[in-house]
A and B are shown apart, each in its own frame.
Chain A
Amino acid sequence: MKKVVRGFYSVAYAVKLCRPNVVCAYPITPQTEIVENLAEMYANGELENCRYITAESEFAAASILVGASAAGARTFTATCSQGLILMSEVLFNAAGMRLPIVVANPNRALSAPLSIWNDLQDSMVLRDAGIIQVYVESNQEAHDMIPQAYKIAEDKRVMLPFMVCLDGFKLTHAHEPVDLLEQSLVDEFLPPYRPEVYLTTKKPVAFGCYAPPNIYMEFRVAMQRAMERAQGVIEKVFREWAEFSRRDWGGHLEIVYPESRNFVIAMGSLVGLLRKVVGELRKEGLSIGLVKLRTFRPFPFEDLRRVLGNAEKIIVIDRSVSLGYEGNLSIELKSALYGLSPEIISMILCLGGRDISKENLEKILRNAVLGKEGSGFKGYIEFEEVVP
């Protein structure tokens, strides 16, 4: 059923279709309406076998889900920015306990200065947590990703939390036509969550045991292996989804104009604009293709080596930065392509909701391909820092 809805609703409605048992969150712009929508559904009795809990903080919300998930419940939360990093102690913990909690993260910048606007800095903080991270380009993709997220996270070979990252404001607040899924289709695609081990008095076990030095490391290795297996599971579930829904979003990567000599790579909604920009530049005769990175964790380094290994130049558009080094995606890509010869140009753009026009993006990419512009984190305006 195609409907024009806002990004919030496309996520919230998909969550409902996945039949969660416990939904718990704390409001933060631009996530708020996701949980408001879910609260409304709950208030109207539309969420069956489900408890919706108004937590007193993101930290508590994530903690409530740890208890719920360990007890065998399917769980959902949404948060971003300050809320996400307030959750971070709990989310690292949830990953270690192998709890398949699904988190929607409408990406937002981090304070200070305070900014409610979009960039990808928040989810980068959770990069090392053992949480799967997928970035979506549109509200339809966000909608479709939720059932896939549960299926992947709850797969016995995986059992890790899953973050669906969608750009705050750019997607959450956008009205877009979304083909809303049917309950029957989701039910057929996503089986109920039946963990093999959970908290029950019928067969008592202990969760969250501590590991002394003689065994701690092996549990971390086990998480790494789960991430490695997740690569395959994600691909399989993505393919399955394409058949099920007749919407094919690609694998870990989507490659546009694969035969190009140069590529631009980016994540999230910016890809939409880049599709147009790359099209224009190709009309000018530039050999430039586009790589949309969907899975950020586990990082699909083999796919990237295969697709980008022979490129001349790769322009990485980052919307987050590891201060003291460079753009996060650029760092990751360099390590993935280690030993191969493409030149990597790192561009950090659009922090804190700063827009970039199509013309400017075209100019930057054109200059980069033509060798007139190198890596940079410059801001858009010349400035000098002073003490008032």
Chain B
Amino acid sequence: MRFFGRGHGACPGCGLTIAVRNVLEALEGKCFVANPTGCLEIISSQYGKNAWGVPYIHSLFDNVAAVASGISEALKAMGREDEGKVVVFAGDGATADIGLTLHGMFDRNHDVIYICLDNEAYQNTGHQQSALTPLGEATTTTPVGKIMLGKMGRKKDMIAIALAHGSPYVATSSAVLPADIRRKVKKAAGIVGAKYIQIHCPCVTGWGIDGKEVVKVGNLAIETALYPIVEFENGKLLTVRKLKDRKPVEEYLKLQRRFRHLFTNPEGKKIIAEIQRIADANALKYNIDLKK
């Protein structure tokens, strides 16, 4: 059985579709998908070229959590909960910026698995910054200029936000960890309430990487502790992906066009140092480094 058809329009090597296929397979296709406007929607839901093999709805860019809440509650009202889980696949922009309805879904704790596919910018509209764009990334709205070197703010901590809402299950994962995705989605499916899973999804086009590098780059985000892979149940930290030899952030940054200026601009060093500090803080916060 296919739950996400071939022939979709994603760029070769797109991380979104790796994540989506694994989520759908973990749920054995027993799910309802709600998806806001964004790359995933555009590559999968053109009229007559629908890639979805599961019930799917795209409504707007800014309301997916509410739409999913509505599906979940309607299924309850009609006694059809057994049909499947309600799953959201939303971009980082749809989640952390314009997705006004996410906090309502968390608050009311609707039975939804909310998956944020974090490719760290608005890729669908041509790589503009979002609240999940990391420090230093050049985007078309945080370009490199004489007085600015890419995004000059931090990446919003959606994990903390989800936890603050009392979400019963909060986790991060990566498109380059299919087994991890599957395990976490299955786990989330067994928990009632509004679950949040944020999956790091390399974007070949926006990040300026080759398909062959997708897995390497995705792994480096984890190996540098820039993207901690964590899991919380009822607010308690359950698992953390530990690292034996945490790598310096340069190794991750230098492979990607979006960070290239950090290596050519004399001011770039300072930003790299700051990014390293972020990685160090992550490692400390989650106790990522294995003692030798």
Q: Which chain A residues have a beta carbon within 8 Å of chain B's beta carbons? A: 21-22, 24, 49-51, 53-57, 59-61, 63-73, 75, 89-90, 93, 97, 199-202, 204-212, 215, 219
Contact = CB atoms under 8 A, between A and B. Distances in A.
Contacts of B70: 22, 24, 53, 63-71, 73
Interface extent on B, as a size class?
35 or more
Contact of B47 (A55, A67, A90, A215): A215
B108 A53 contact: yes
B287 interface: no
Given A63-B66, A67-B66, 5 more contacts: A56-B104, A71-B75, A199-B57, A200-B83, A208-B59
30 contacts: A21-B74, A49-B78, A51-B74, A51-B77, A56-B101, A60-B66, A63-B70, A63-B101, A65-B70, A67-B71, A67-B72, A71-B70, A71-B78, A72-B74, A90-B60, A90-B63, A199-B56, A201-B29, A201-B32, A201-B54, A204-B56, A206-B50, A206-B52, A206-B57, A207-B58, A207-B59, A209-B48, A209-B58, A210-B45, A219-B47
B100 A57 contact: yes
Contact of B100 (A60, A65, A202): A60
A206 B59 contact: no
B47 A209 contact: yes
Interface in B74-112: 74-80, 83-84, 100-101, 103-104, 107-108
Given A201-B54, A210-B45, A63 B74 contact: no
A218 to B, nearest CB: 10
A201 B55 contact: yes
Contacts of A205: 55-56
Interface in B37-70: 41-42, 45-48, 50, 52-60, 62-63, 66-70
Contacts of A24: 70
Contacts of A70: 57, 67, 70-71
Contacts of A219: 47
A53 B60 contact: no
A56 B107 CA distance: 9
A204 B55 contact: yes
Contacts of B55: 199-201, 204-206
A66 B64 CA distance: 10
A259 B245 CA distance: 93
Contacts of A202: 83
Contacts of B25: none
A295 to B, nearest CB: 28
A211 B45 CA distance: 9
Q: 8 shortest A-B CB distances, which residue pairs? A: A67-B70, A63-B66, A56-B104, A63-B63, A208-B58, A68-B74, A73-B74, A64-B70
A54 B58 CA distance: 23
A72 B70 CA distance: 11
Contacts of A60: 63, 66, 69, 100-101, 104
Given A22-B74, A51-B74, A202-B83, A67 B56 contact: no
A210 B44 CA distance: 10
B31 interface: yes
Nearest to A97: B59
B41 A210 contact: yes
B73 interface: yes
Contact of B59 (A55, A90, A200): A90
B59 A63 contact: yes
B46 A208 contact: no
A63 B63 CA distance: 6
Nearest to B63: A63
B188 interface: no
Contacts of A75: 74
A66 B58 CA distance: 10
B175 interface: no
Interface in B234-290: none
Interface string B160-173: 00000000000000
A329 B120 CA distance: 48
Contact of A56 (B32, B46, B68, B103): B103
B47 A211 contact: yes
A106 B24 CA distance: 43
B40 to A, nearest CB: 12
Contact of A89 (B31, B60, B68, B73): B60
B104 A73 contact: no
A22 B60 contact: no
Nearest to B35: A208
A39 to B, nearest CB: 14
Nearest to A73: B74
The residue among A21, A57, A209 with the most chain B CB atoms within 10 A of its own CB is A209
A209 B59 CA distance: 9
Given A60-B104, A200-B55, A201-B83, A68 B47 contact: no
Contact of A93 (B41, B42, B60, B100): B60
B30 interface: yes
Contacts of A89: 60, 62-63
A53 B70 CA distance: 9
B45 A206 contact: yes
B79 A49 contact: yes
Given A53-B108, A210-B41, A201 B74 contact: no
Contacts of A201: 29-32, 54-55, 83-84
Contacts of B34: 67
Contacts of A65: 70
Nearest to A49: B77
B80 to A, nearest CB: 8
A21 B56 contact: no
Nearest to B41: A210
